[in-house]
Structures are given as structure tokens and as C-alpha cells.
């Protein structure tokens, strides 16, 4: 029941923001902040329930009630350690998203926060829904408010970017809908009970060749979200044009739903087909790592640059998942968390720079370290996180993924490792173009404010903590080794 509360708080908070904004914009902002904070507090409090549980392989919260019983649709939410860490990330980044919109959004503030909170609600729903229709519903709930965030509060080319984002993800959603209906009927034929329940569908026998096609439907939907090259084209446009909080939520959370979907649904529901397609997916992942890095290097728009680094980093996720190695799977979870933090931080920073300089073009920046020493120091931290420097969380993630993959696919792993060189190259270029050289701006530029410092400090502390103390996360998601037969070894 507590899980439903968490989502309801967000939904209600969103509506409340919209309503109060007509009277007082400041109040609406505080409501938004309090709503997400309340959820983070609840999610942290759940740790106690979680720790009381004897073994962490199980679903420590499970709530089910009827929704449309005639069609076998129920309102089923459940949470294991994996969902839990993702929810923590969602609410943590949610707070930062509210904070970094504090001054940036000046028009239709109420409606803005409504959309922001509903997107976050949709994302949280995706991470806990255990009924396929409910999952699909949440999948759409996070999409539509996001579309509004981009097209209303975005930059100059926001309409183009919004459409592109919508059409790409909607094509994926449609394929997923077809697949889950097919799965529903096949399961019904096999067992006689027609249900959309995840745990029942897990018991579908998956021998038939048609299963490969059904799996592909799911996989493509998630691959577009992740994104996997060649389905990544929506991402640079959406990231580039979205407002700061939009980019933060997109990079930090929305992409992660793709990874979550593959781990939660594709692998356990279709073990044979997933194993068969594994090498091809690793190949796509490796291509993504290299291709994304090459593109990131050549960009001149700061936000597009960061967007392409996401493509590169998400390639690691795909490689890690389909290498079917337990170590790599832990690395994938770490990558999901740390990429959310580090790339989120870079986007927030890009937003802060844009507020000051009114441009995203890095060729027009330069020498900002002099004017903003604190920002420069933090920028070093996060560019280095992005380049996979040890002691920061991203290193643990990439190290686990590459090490785990090396045992089964050494060649792919080596090519992916070369991505580490490229990541250094594009990270340093970004750092250099923005912060080094002669200062180009003529008007005085302020270093970061207290509110901004809180955001960046929270992110910095988290990324260092994950780099030096990753064990709690690893323990929480240890049970992922049971989701696929190949992972047991």
C-alpha cells in the first residue's frame, strides 16, 4: 500500500502545484519540493523494512488488488532491491530537478511542476508495476508530460525535438503493446487463465519460435528508450532542447527505464531468445560506445555533447546486460545509478552556464574557471566521473561490466575498453573549451549560488560515495543473478 501512496503523493502534488500557482508561484515550488522530498523520505524509510527481511532475493513489498478482473488486469505493485535503488535515484534526482527549475522557469510555472511531478510519478510507477497493463500505463504517463516539458519550456527547436521524441518512443510503445498482448494470449492458451500479471507470465513456456518476435517487440521499445544505436537519434535533440530539469530527468531516469525493462522483462520472460540474441546486442552496445563517443567529440552544442556521451555510456549497459555475467550485471546497476548522477550533474551544469551566458555553444565559452573557480572544480569532478576515473562511481560500473564481459567475450570487451580512451578525449575537450583558455565573456559572471551549490554538493558527495562504498548497492541487487539461467554461474 505504501507504494501506491508514494505515487499518489506525486500525482496529487502535481495537481496541487497547478492549482496553487495561480495564487502563489513560490508556494507551488515549495509544494513540488516537499512532495518529492516526502517520497524520498518514505523510500529511505523502506530500508528498514528491507533490512528486516531475511534474504534479499525476495519481493519485500507486494501489493495486489483487482482493477479490471474480467480481462485479468490487476493493480499489482511490488518492490525488490533493484526497484528500491531505482526509486531512491528517482526521488533524489526528482528533488534536484525541482531545485534546478527554481529560477529557470518563469512561465506557466504551475503547469510546469504538474508535468514534472507526473513524469516522476510515471517513472516511479514503471519501476514498481508488476502488471503489464499497469506497466504500460505508467510507461505512457511518463512520456506525455515529458513531451509537454520539452515542447512548452524547451529551447528554440523545441517543437521539432518534442515531436521526434514522441514519435520515436511511441513507435516503441506500440511494438511493446502488440508484444504484450501476444504474450497475454499465448499464456492464456497455454494455461487457460488470461492474465497480465508479471509473475504469472513468467511461467509461460517459451520454447516456440514466435517468442523471439514477441521478445523483439519488448526489446525494441526498451532499446529506443535506452537508447541503442541506431535508435538514438531522438536523444540529442530532446536533451538539447529540453529545459534543464527535463534533461536531468531524461538522462538520469527516463533512459534507465529502458535498462530496467530489459533486465526486468526481456531477460526473465524470454530466457532462450534473449540468450540467442545476446552477442548481437553486445555488438550493438560496443558500436554505441564507440559511435557515441566519436559524435560527442565533434559536438559544439554543450547539451548535445553530453547527450552523446549518454549514448556512449548506455552502450556499456547493453554490453553488461547481454554478457550474462553476474559481475557485469552488478556493474549495470551501478552504471544506471552513477550515470544518472554524473550525466545529470553535467546537464545541470550546462543549464547553469546557459543561464549565465545565454548560449550552449562551447566555441563561445572559454576561460570560465577564472570567473567560476568553484564551478570549475566541480566540473573537473564530473568530467572525470564521465571519463571513468576510479574513486568515482562510474569506474566501479564500467570496471565490473568490462571485467564481467571479458570472460565470455574478450574481443568485444577490449573494443569497449577502448571507449575509455575516447571518453577521456571528449571529456577533456569539453573541459578545455568551457573552462580553460582566455576568458571570452565580457560581463561579470557569478560563481555558483547557494542553491546551486546544494545541488552540486549533493551530486558530488553521492558520486564519490558510490565510488568508495559501492557495496551496499551491490548487496541490494545481488539477487539479479537469479533472473536468468546463464547468470547463475
Partner 1 sequence: MQQYLFLIPALPLLGFLVLSMAGKHLSRNLIAGIGAGSICAAALVALVLSASFLQSPPESGAYTQILWNWFLTGHLSADISLRVDALSLVFICIITFIGALIHIYSAEFMRQDRDYARFFASMNLFVCAMLTLVMADNLVLMYLGWEGVGLCSYLLIGFWYETPGNYRAANKAFVITRIGDTAMIIGLFLLFKELGTLYIPDILTKATEHFNSGSSTITLIALLLLSGGIGKSAQLPLQTWLPDAMAGPSPVSALIHAATMVTAGVYLIARMHTLFELSPTAMHITAIIGAVTLFIAGCSAMVQTDIKRILAYSTISQIGYMFLALGVGAWSAAIFHFFTHAFFKALLFLAAGAVIEVLHHEHDIFKMGGLRKKMPVIYYTFTIGAAALAALPLVTAGFFSKDQILWYAWSADGGHPLLWAIGLAGAFITALYSTRLILVVFFGEMKTTPGHLPGAAMTVPLVILAFFSVAVGWIEWPHNLLHVSLFSEHVEHALPATTLKAGLPPEIVFQLIAVGVSLFGIYSGYVLYYGESPLLMRWKQSQGLMDVRNFLFKGWKFDQLYDTLLVRPFLFITRINKADVSDKLYTAIADINLHLNKLFSVSQNGSLRWYVTGVLVGILFIITLQLLL
**Could you list the residues that contact partner 1 (CB under 8 A)?**
164, 229-230, 232-233, 236, 294-295, 297-299, 326-327, 330, 367, 369-370, 373, 377, 380, 384, 389-391, 395-396, 399-400, 402-403, 406-407, 410, 413-414, 417-418, 420-421, 424-425, 428-429, 432, 435-439, 468-471, 474, 478
Instruction: Report the residue number, 25 or 487, with the smaller CB distance to partner 1.
Output: 487
Taking the complex as a whole, how short is the minimal distance between the CB of residue 1 and partner 1, in angstroms?
33
- Cα separation of 97 and 455, whole Å? 9
Phi, psi dihedral angles at 155 (to 5 degrees):
-90, -160
Residue from 421, 443, 435 nearest 382 by CA: 435
Instruction: Report the residue number, 14 or 315, with the smaller CB distance to partner 1.
Output: 315
Taking the complex as a whole, how short is the minimal distance between the CB of residue 378 and partner 1, in angstroms?
10
Instruction: Report the residue number, 50 or 399, with the smaller CB distance to partner 1.
Output: 399
Instruction: Report the residue number, 14 or 288, with the smaller CB distance to partner 1.
Output: 288
- Cα separation of 220 and 223, whole Å? 5
Q: Which residues have CB under 8 Å from 243's CB, separation 6+?
A: 101, 104, 105, 149, 153, 154, 351
Q: Are 104 and 244 in contact (CB under 8 A)?
A: yes
Taking the complex as a whole, how short is the minimal distance between the CB of residue 462 and partner 1, in angstroms?
17
Instruction: Report the residue number, 90 or 310, with the smaller CB distance to partner 1.
Output: 310
Taking the complex as a whole, how short is the minimal distance between the CB of residue 108 and partner 1, in angstroms?
29
Instruction: Report the residue number, 80 or 197, with the smaller CB distance to partner 1.
Output: 80
Taking the complex as a whole, how short is the minimal distance between the CB of residue 254 and partner 1, in angstroms?
19
Instruction: Report the residue number, 373 or 485, with the smaller CB distance to partner 1.
Output: 373
Taking the complex as a whole, how short is the minimal distance between the CB of residue 430 and partner 1, in angstroms?
11
Taking the complex as a whole, how short is the minimal distance between the CB of residue 100 and partner 1, in angstroms?
22
Taking the complex as a whole, how short is the minimal distance between the CB of residue 183 and partner 1, in angstroms?
28
Cell of 260: 530496467
Number of Cβ atoms within 10 Å of the Cβ of 439: 14
Taking the complex as a whole, how short is the minimal distance between the CB of residue 237 and partner 1, in angstroms?
9
Taking the complex as a whole, how short is the minimal distance between the CB of residue 351 and partner 1, in angstroms?
23
Cell of 180: 504484450
Taking the complex as a whole, how short is the minimal distance between the CB of residue 6 and partner 1, in angstroms?
29
Taking the complex as a whole, how short is the minimal distance between the CB of residue 423 and partner 1, in angstroms?
9
Instruction: Report the residue number, 119 or 405, with the smaller CB distance to partner 1.
Output: 405
Instruction: Report the residue number, 2 or 425, with the smaller CB distance to partner 1.
Output: 425
Instruction: Report the residue number, 131 or 237, with the smaller CB distance to partner 1.
Output: 237
Instruction: Report the residue number, 1 or 156, with the smaller CB distance to partner 1.
Output: 156
Instruction: Report the residue number, 390 or 485, with the smaller CB distance to partner 1.
Output: 390
Amino acid at each position: 500500500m505504501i507504494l501506491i501512496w508514494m505515487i499518489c503523493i506525486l500525482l496529487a502534488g502535481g495537481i496541487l502545484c497547478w492549482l496553487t500557482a495561480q495564487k502563489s508561484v513560490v508556494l507551488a515550488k515549495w509544494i513540488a519540493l516537499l512532495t518529492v522530498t516526502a517520497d524520498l523520505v518514505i523510500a529511505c524509510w523502506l530500508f528498514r523494512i528491507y533490512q528486516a527481511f531475511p534474504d534479499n532475493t525476495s519481493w519485500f513489498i507486494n501489493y495486489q488488488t483487482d482493477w479490471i478482473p474480467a480481462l485479468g488486469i490487476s493493480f499489482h505493485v511490488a518492490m525488490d532491491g533493484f526497484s528500491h535503488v531505482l526509486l531512491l535515484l528517482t526521488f533524489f534526482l526528482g528533488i534536484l530537478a525541482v531545485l534546478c527549475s527554481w529560477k529557470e522557469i518563469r512561465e506557466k510555472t504551475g503547469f510546469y511542476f504538474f508535468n514534472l511531478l507526473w513524469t516522476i510519478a510515471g517513472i516511479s510507477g514503471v519501476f514498481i508495476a508488476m502488471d503489464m497493463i499497469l506497466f504500460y500505463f505508467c510507461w505512457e504517463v511518463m512520456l506525455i508530460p515529458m513531451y509537454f516539458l520539452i515542447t512548452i519550456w524547451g529551447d528554440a527547436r523545441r517543437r521539432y525535438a518534442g515531436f521526434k521524441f514522441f514519435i520515436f518512443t511511441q513507435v516503441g510503445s506500440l511494438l511493446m503493446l502488440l508484444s504484450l498482448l501476444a504474450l497475454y494470449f499465448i499464456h492464456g492458451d497455454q494455461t487457460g487463465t488470461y492474465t497480465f500479471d508479471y509473475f504469472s507470465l513468467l511461467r509461460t513456456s517459451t520454447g516456440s519460435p514466435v517468442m523471439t518476435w514477441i521478445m523483439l517487440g519488448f526489446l525494441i521499445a526498451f532499446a529506443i528508450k535506452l537508447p541503442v544505436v541506431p535508435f538514438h537519434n531522438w536523444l540529442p535533440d530532446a536533451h538539447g532542447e529540453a529545459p534543464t530539469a527535463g534533461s536531468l530527468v531524461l538522462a538520469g531516469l527516463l533512459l534507465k527505464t529502458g535498462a530496467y525493462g530489459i533486465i526486468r522483462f526481456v531477460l526473465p520472460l524470454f530466457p532462450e531468445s534473449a540468450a540467442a540474441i545476446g552477442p548481437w546486442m553486445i555488438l550493438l552496445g560496443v558500436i554505441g560506445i564507440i559511435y557515441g563517443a566519436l559524435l560527442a567529440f565533434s559536438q559544439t552544442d554543450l547539451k548535445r555533447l553530453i547527450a552523446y556521451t549518454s549514448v556512449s555510456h548506455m552502450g556499456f549497459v547493453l554490453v553488461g546486460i547481454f554478457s550474462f555475467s553476474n559481475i557485469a550485471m552488478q556493474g549495470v546497476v551501478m552504471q544506471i545509478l552513477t550515470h544518472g548522477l554524473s550525466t545529470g550533474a553535467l546537464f545541470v551544469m550546462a543549464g547553469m552556464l546557459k543561464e549565465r551566458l545565454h548560449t550552449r555553444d562551447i566555441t563561445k565559452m572559454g576561460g570560465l574557471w577564472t570567473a567560476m573557480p568553484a564551478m570549475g572544480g566541480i566540473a573537473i569532478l564530473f568530467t572525470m566521473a564521465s571519463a571513468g576515473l576510479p574513486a568515482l562511481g562510474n569506474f566501479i560500473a564500467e570496471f565490473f561490466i568490462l571485467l564481467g564481459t571479458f570472460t565470455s567475450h574478450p574481443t568485444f570487451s577490449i573494443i569497449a575498453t577502448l571507449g575509455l580512451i575516447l571518453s577521456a578525449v571528449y571529456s577533456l575537450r569539453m573541459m578545455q573549451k568551457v573552462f580553460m583558455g582566455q576568458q571570452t565573456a565580457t560581463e561579470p559572471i557569478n560563481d555558483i549560488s547557494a542553491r546551486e551549490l546544494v545541488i552540486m554538493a549533493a551530486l558530488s558527495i553521492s558520486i564519490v560515495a558510490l565510488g568508495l562504498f559501492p557495496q551496499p548497492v551491490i548487496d541490494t541487487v545481488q539477487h539479479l543473478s537469479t533472473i536468468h539461467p546463464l547468470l547463475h554461474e
